[in-house]
Amino acid sequence: MFTLVTAVVVNDQGALQLQRRTDNELWGLPGGAMNIGESFAQAVVREVKEETRLAVEPTGIVGVSSDADHGEVRQEFWMCLTARIVGDHESTEMRFVEPRELDGLPTASTRLRIQHVLGQRTMPHVA
């Protein structure tokens, strides 16, 4: 099991930052594995910068889970944070996506995290 961090980055128009990954060609939230000694916030800032070239600041918690039933071939512990852009690759493509466009994009385990944000939960998801 390893720790994965992802970020939900939303622009001023309410569109989500998604990336098409080189490893599986699926669209998902920017993120990746934490390095030893990093905090969740530090890992999110680093991963988003590496994958999208965006500088972000974490603003909240979407959820945390170690649920093995998420469509992946490994069990992972994940923490998903919200983040705001504060400045200007593991992606073959990235773009901001309007929420209404999400159903037309192939995604994997990040779909649940996106649904938590769009549902405007008042409490973080814990599983």
Tell me, what's the pLDDT at 3?
86
Contact partners, residue 11, CB within 8 Å, separation at least 6:
17, 85, 96
- Reported as a single tens digit per residue, the pLDDT across 83-109 is 988 876 445 566 777 777 777 777 766
In this structure, are residues 113 and 31 in contact, taking their beta carbons and an 8 Å threshold?
A: no
Q: In what order do the strands lie in the sheet with 2-9?
A: 31-33, 2-9, 76-87, 55-65, 125-126
Domains of the chain: 2-126 (3.90.79.10)
Reported as a single tens digit per residue, the pLDDT across 33-64 is: 999 999 999 999 999 999 888 889 999 998 88
Question: DSSP class of residue 107?
Answer: B
DSSP code at position 40: H
